[in-house]
Amino acid sequence: MAVSTEQLTIILIVTASVFIIFIGIAIIKMYKLKAENKRLMETNAFENDMDKSYKDFTSGHLYGDN
C-alpha cells in the first residue's frame, strides 16, 4: 500500500491548514489579551494597592514587643 504523491500533498496541505488556523486563533487571542491588559492597567485598580504605605507588622504579640 503505497501513498501517492497526490495523496501525500493533500495530507500535508490539510495538516498545514489546521496549524495555520491554530496559529491564527492564538494571534487573535494574544491581541485580545494585550488590549485587555492595557485597559486594566489604565484603570485605577492597581494604583490603590501601590499607594498604601508600608505597615510594620513586627510589633505584634508574637515578637514579644508588648
Residue 31 lies in a domain: yes
pLDDT per position as a tens digit, 3-60: 899 999 999 999 999 999 999 999 999 999 999 999 888 886 556 555 566 666 666 6
User: Is residue 55 in a domain?
Assistant: no
Residue of 47, 66, 46, 50 whose CA lies nearest to 58: 66
How far apart (Å, rounded) are the C-alpha atoms in residues 36 and 29? Answer: 10
User: Cα 28–10–27 angle (5° rounding)?
Assistant: 10
In a domain, residue 53? The reply is: no
Q: To 5 degrees, how large is the angle CA 17–CA 21–CA 23?
A: 115
- Domain count of the fold of the chain: 1
Does some domain include residue 3? no
Residue at 52 is within a domain: no
pTM: 0.57
